Amino acid sequence: MRGLGIDLGTTNTVVGTLEDGIVLNEPSFMLVRNKDPHRALAIGKEARRLIGRTPTGIRQVRPMRDGVIVDLELARAFLAAVIEQAAPRRWYGRRRKAVISAPAGATPLERRALLEVGHEAGLRKVGLIPEPVAGALGCGVNPLEPRTHLILNIGGGTSEVTAICFGGVISHRSCPLAGEELTEALHQYLREEHQTIVGELTAERAKMGTPDTADGESLVVEGLDAVTGRARLLSLDVGEIVEALRPTTTGIVQTLTACLEDLPPQAISDVMSEGVLVIGGGSMLRGLSQLFEESFGLPVKTAERPLTCVAEGATACLDHPEIVAAFSG
Ligand SMILES: Nc1ncnc2c1ncn2[C@@H]1O[C@H](COP(=O)(O)OP(=O)(O)OP(=O)(O)O)[C@@H](O)[C@H]1O
Ligand SMILES: [Mg+2]
């Protein structure tokens, strides 16, 4: 193994190797004992399943928020467990190195924290790559060519719009409206308009169910009647869900507009012909590409593998240190 490509996201953590492709894809959740927060009891799906039912003495934690580390100690324990699962020390010893993706808008301090945590979690060598650059690379774009590429990353915690060209960033904007905010908007809509209270996982499932449902079809949601407290089933039209999410998606459109306004004319002309590349789990939301196309008249390309392209690109960087070097300044 020549190293790991790691996408340490707010919602999902994905790891790849050059030899085997994606080797780990888990929610960024961890269980720790209150007495010993340095060691992960469980990570990923196993840890996420305990939402709303953690026993006393055990804490369910999320070490990343908006793509950056919120607690160094927890992030170290989480990353160490992730690395151990993807590349056990007993096989790879001290040879483990990695390229980790960081939000394009991360501050120098946040980037340093990632590097430190990487070393302390057992990596011998760590490189950082901006998340949109890794995502573009994972979609087959060459970030070093003298042509502007506009990338919109709708992740869990943040939506980021980044224009890159010739190994550098031309403009960047971000907003806290992304996958989790969309789930929350649907949760609130159901409570206010249908007097139905649903769990976070149910609201997310309804949001994610929309792409596979045809127009005019409906989705059934289980919840509690806000007035009587009794369990109830609610049938929701997909169009209604899309409308309920409209204020949030409009906020994402505004961020894209702001980034476009910052671009010089030549870069705009590249973007007009090439379009915008949309990556991240939120890109799969129903009706999103039409909304972007209608709002800007720009072609929209959704990544083929929106949830893993960042880790794929970070992995590809192991073979292309010149890309890491270009974007490290
Ligand atoms: N089919 C789908 N339709 C709509 N949203 C989806 C779908 N699949 C996943 N998502 C959403 O995508 C989000 C996770 O995306 P992703 O894994 O790209 O985030 P992340 O990289 O962990 O976050 P960040 O980049 O902000 O740190 C979740 O909020 C999830 O609900
Ligand atoms: Mg991400």
Rounded to whole angstroms, how far apart are CA atoms 15 and 317?
A: 13
Per the CB < 8 A criterion, the answer to whether 128 and 111 are in contact is yes
Q: What is the pLDDT along the chain (329 residues), one digit of tens a residue?
A: 789 999 999 999 999 999 999 999 999 999 999 999 889 999 999 999 888 788 999 999 999 988 889 999 999 999 999 999 999 887 877 778 999 999 999 999 999 999 999 999 999 999 999 999 999 999 999 999 999 999 999 999 999 999 999 999 999 999 999 999 999 999 999 999 999 999 988 999 999 987 777 777 888 999 999 999 999 999 999 899 999 999 999 999 999 999 999 999 999 999 999 999 999 999 999 889 999 999 989 999 999 999 999 999 999 999 999 999 999 97
The two tokens of residue 90 are 């007993």
**Cα-to-centroid distance, 104 and ligand 2 (Å):** 11
The Å distance, Cα 228 to ligand 1 centre, comes to: 33
State which ligand 1 atom lies nearest to the alpha carbon of 279. 18
Residue spans of the domains in the chain: they are 4-135+309-326, 144-177+246-302, 183-239
Instruction: Provide the 3-class DSSP secondary structure of residue 36.
Output: strand
> Nearest ligand to the C-alpha of residue 65?
1
Nearest CA to ligand 1 atom 10: 281
pLDDT at site 268: 95
State which amino acid sits at residue 45.
K
Pocket of ligand 1 contains residue 135 by CB under 6 Å: no
Helix, strand counts (H, E) of the chain: 13, 18
User: What pTM was estimated for this model as a whole?
Assistant: 0.96
What is the CA(310)–ligand 1 centre distance, in A?
A: 12
CA of 72 to the centre of ligand 2 (A): 19
The pair of structure tokens assigned to 300 is: 């929209």
Question: Is residue 280 lining ligand 1, measured as CB closer than 6 Å?
Answer: yes
Name the CATH superfamily, with its identifier, for domain 144-177+246-302. ATPase, nucleotide binding domain (3.30.420.40)
User: Residue 7 C-alpha to ligand 1 middle, in angstroms?
Assistant: 13
CB of 138 closer than 6 A to ligand 1? no
Q: Which numeric CATH code is attached to 4-135+309-326?
A: 3.30.420.40
Tell me whether the CATH fold assigned to 4-135+309-326 matches the one assigned to 144-177+246-302: yes
In order of 123, 185, 187, 219, 221, the CA distances from 215 in angstroms are 49, 21, 21, 11, 17
Residue 92 confidence (pLDDT): 79
In angstroms, the CA 7 to CA 102 distance is 8
The whole-number pLDDT of residue 6 equals 98
Decide: 13 and 311 in contact? Cβ < 8 Å: no
H-helix or E-strand spanning residue 326: helix 321-326
Q: Which helix (H) or strand (E) holds 80?
A: helix 72-86
User: Residue 33 corresponds to which tokens in the numbers above?
Assistant: 């004992």
Q: Take atom 2 of ligand 1 and give the residue whose Cα is closest.
A: 208
* CATH code reported for the domain at 183-239: 3.90.640.10
| Residue in the structure block whose two tokens are 């010739």 | 166
Q: How far is CA 29 from CA 4, 51, 59, 200, 212, in A?
A: 20, 10, 10, 15, 27
Assess whether the C-beta atom of 223 lies below 6 angstroms from ligand 1.
no
Q: Is the CB of 8 under 6 A from ligand 1?
A: no
In contact, 55 and 49? CB cutoff 8 Å: no
CB count within 10 Å of CB 294 equals: 10
Short-list 172, 140, 146, 185, CA closest to 67: 172
Helix (H) or strand (E) holding 94: none
Measured distance CA(90)–CA(75) in Å, rounded: 22
